[in-house]
């Protein structure tokens, strides 16, 4: 793997939460090695309690690891110059709720030492990017979940960060809000930002991420690009219509056909050489071919398989 363009790296990161009075501990993270390259969108997915939030907290320096190291842009997070180059969107948009979007951006931009004019300019630009110009003066506590999430994203972008860390950016949003947030993330990706994303929504992860790491009980159980994780398609799906019921049995009994239900015919990809014969059979039976596809397994399938193997 290339090492010169790695933005974020963790080596042997472990975290054990110990009880104050007993020696018993809960291992939240176990020997985690991550490499996130410049310009890529990487997602950590995993069930609740798998260690996603712990990972982000350690990366951000909010908690310290039991062992292991984290470097961002080649330095430790304690280095202020590192934090000047990253942005963080916390889960559930935890911001001061008695201020409005404009005031919040003014405060967070102020922490970077920007001038009053620059802060004003940033507020205008960022509120426009997240579609909050009209509601810029609405107090945060009166904002809908989607509006809050967009203001929180704007505060994460206040320093035009090279690395963006997003913790459950679409959590609790309705489908329209989720679509809007995904669109903004894709736009940020287009602008060349390196993005580390934690999410429960696998469809969203599939849409925006270049690489995915599946975390389970604190361990990275699978990692790779979507193509690497999902592998090659394993079946051929033929969608048909107008197929006479009397003919379906003959087609279903054809070698290579795995199933035929509701006009959808599934073939094992190993029997691809039989495809033409099956299509002819459908045609002879008076059916119409609507679509022939070779679908890849979804991230959901990969996720379930990876977790299932670990459970065994």
Partner 1 sequence: MELLTRLIAVAGLAIIAAVIIITRRAWVPGIGHAVPSIWRIAKITVSEARRRRVLRVAIILVILVFMSMNFFSYLSPEEQSRMLISGGLSAMTVFGILLAIFVAAFLIPGEIDRRTIYAVLSKPVRRFEFVLGKYVGALIIIGVLIAIMTMVLVAVLLIQDAILEDLPDSVFDPNIRAVLFASFMNYCSLCVLTAIIIFISTISSTTMAVIGALIVWAVGSMQSILHDLAEHAVGVSRATLLVLYHVVPKLENFDFRHEATNLIPINMLSAWNEILHGIGYVVVVLILAAIFFNDRQV
Range 7-18 burial, b when 16+ CB lie within 10 A, else e: bbbbeebbbeee
Q: Judging by beta carbons within 10 Å of its beta carbon (0-12, 13-18, 19+), is residue 273 exposed, middle or buried?
A: exposed
Binding of residue 94 to partner 1 (CB under 8 A): yes
What mask of x and - would describe binding to partner 1 in positions 251 to 290, judged by CB under 8 A? Answer: ----------------------------------------
Binding of residue 245 to partner 1 (CB under 8 A): no
What is the distance between the alpha carbons of residues 164 and 7, in angstroms, rounded to a whole number? Answer: 11
Q: Which of 19, 21, 64, 117 binds partner 1 (CB under 8 A)?
A: 64
Written as six digits, the tokens of 138 are: 């609405």
In the bound state with partner 1, the residue whose beta carbon lies nearer, of 9 and 53, is 53
Q: Which of 27, 112, 263, 305 binds partner 1 (CB under 8 A)?
A: 112
Binding of residue 1 to partner 1 (CB under 8 A): no
Tell which positions 135-154 bind partner 1, by CB under 8 A: 152
Contacts of residue 174, defined as CB under 8 A and 6 or more positions apart, other chains included, come to 146
User: What is the closest distance, in whole angstroms, from the C-beta atom of residue 167 to partner 1 in the complex?
Assistant: 9
Three-class SS state of 27:
strand
> Which among 37-45, 54-62, 177-185, 207-215 is the span making contact with partner 1, rule CB under 8 A?
54-62
CB 103 within 8 A of CB 162: no
Of residues 165, 174, 132, 171, the one with CA closest to residue 151: 132
Q: Which of 107, 200, 292, 296 binds partner 1 (CB under 8 A)?
A: 107
Contact positions toward partner 1, by CB under 8 A? Answer: 60-64, 80-81, 83-84, 86-88, 90, 92, 94-96, 98-99, 107-108, 110-113, 152, 155-156, 159, 165
């Amino acid at each position: 793997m290339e090492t010169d363009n790695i933005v974020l790296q963790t080596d042997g990161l472990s975290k054990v939460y110990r009880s104050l009075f007993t020696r018993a501990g809960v291992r939240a993270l176990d020997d985690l090695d991550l490499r996130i390259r410049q310009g890529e969108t990487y997602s950590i997915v995993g069930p609740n309690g798998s260690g996603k939030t712990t990972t982000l907290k350690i990366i951000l320096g909010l908690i310290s690891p039991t062992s292991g190291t984290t470097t961002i842009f080649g330095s430790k997070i304690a280095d202020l110059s590192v934090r000047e180059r990253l942005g963080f969107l916390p889960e559930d948009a935890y911001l001061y709720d008695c201020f409005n979007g404009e005031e919040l951006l003014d405060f967070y931009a102020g922490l970077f030492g920007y001038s009053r004019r620059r802060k004003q300019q940033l507020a205008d630009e960022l509120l426009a990017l997240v579609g909050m110009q009209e509601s810029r003066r609405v107090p945060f506590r009166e904002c809908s979940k989607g509006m809050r999430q967009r203001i929180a994203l704007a505060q994460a972008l206040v320093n035009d960060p090279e690395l963006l860390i997003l913790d459950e950016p679409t959590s609790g949003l309705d489908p329209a809000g989720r679509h809007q947030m995904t669109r903004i993330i894709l736009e940020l990706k287009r602008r060349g930002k390196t993005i580390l994303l934690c999410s429960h929504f696998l469809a969203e992860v599939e849409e925006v991420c270049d690489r995915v790491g599946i975390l389970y009980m604190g361990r990275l159980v699978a990692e790779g690009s979507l193509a690497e994780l999902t592998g090659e398609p394993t079946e051929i799906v033929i969608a048909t219509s107008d197929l006479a019921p009397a003919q379906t049995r003959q087609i279903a009994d054809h070698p290579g056909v795995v199933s035929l239900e509701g006009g959808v015919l599934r073939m094992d990809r190993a029997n691809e050489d039989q495809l033409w014969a099956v299509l002819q059979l459908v045609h002879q039976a008076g059916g119409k071919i609507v679509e022939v596809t070779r679908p890849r397994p979804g991230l959901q399938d990969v996720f379930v398989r990876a977790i299932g193997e670990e459970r065994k």
